[in-house]
Amino acid sequence: MKTLAWIIRATFLDPRIARMAALDEQGTGNAIGAIVITALPGVLLGWLGYGGLGFGIVRSLITTAVMTVVSLGIMVGLLSALSQNLLGVKISAGQLLRAIAYSQGANMLSFIPGIGRVISLWSIITGVAAVREISGADTQKVAIFMIVGAVAGVVVSMVLAPMLYAFF
């Protein structure tokens, strides 16, 4: 319940969540759980829309969860390495992962036809707010920082997705 409550509070831009998550050294498992929680509703309800349940949906859910965690992990590692140069402050990968994980709550609504993808854009704003909160950097610097991470995440997804789908 704590994880879901933190996701909701971070989605509504509660700055305390990013700070508490970044400082919680034991909270990485919960943060990864938050990432999976925010990614799966869109996939699950997308499959229900196609009218199919069964092994295909299980495979898709596992692949989506793995892809989400792996691509976000690589993005966070890259951003952590670049944080000193781009933001002027060193942020560890764990701190960054924990802060960003809870800010992805709007993605839970991406399954809504027509407006779901628009609503999920709110995750960009909440992610920037979370990183700004833990770094103390200007919003413009953080936005550029996050764009670099997003591009890296997309590239990683494009490379790894075919391999994971073939494996599963």
DSSP calls for the chain: -HHHHHHHHHHTT-HHHHHHHHH-TT-HHHHHHHHHHHHHHHHHHHHHHTT--SHHHHHHHHHHHHHHHHHHHHHHHHHHHHHHHHHSS---HHHHHHHHHGGGGGGGGTTSTTTHHHHHTHHHHHHHHHHHHHH---HHHHHHHHHHHHHHHHHHHHHHHHHHHHH-
Average pLDDT, the chain: 83
Q: Report pLDDT digits (tens) over 34-63.
A: 888 887 776 666 566 555 555 566 776 777
Cβ count within 10 A of residue 50: 9
Name the band, by pLDDT with cuts 50, 70 and 90, for residue 129: very high
Q: Report pLDDT digits (tens) over 9-29.
A: 999 999 899 999 998 989 888
Q: Which residue has the higher pLDDT, 67 or 146?
A: 146
> Taking the complete model, does pTM exceed 0.85, yes or no?
no
Q: What is the pLDDT of residue 80?
A: 92
Q: What is the pLDDT of residue 70?
A: 78
Q: What is the pLDDT of residue 33?
A: 87
Is pLDDT of 94 > 70?
yes
Side chain identity at 146, as an amino acid letter? M
- Distance between CA 152 and CA 100 in Å, rounded? 15
Name the band, by pLDDT with cuts 50, 70 and 90, for residue 131: very high
% of the chain beyond a pLDDT of 90:
27
Q: What is the pLDDT of residue 9?
A: 92
For residues 89-94, average pLDDT? 92
**CA–CA distance from 105 to each of 13, 34, 81, 137 (Å)?**
11, 8, 25, 23
Name the band, by pLDDT with cuts 50, 70 and 90, for residue 144: very high
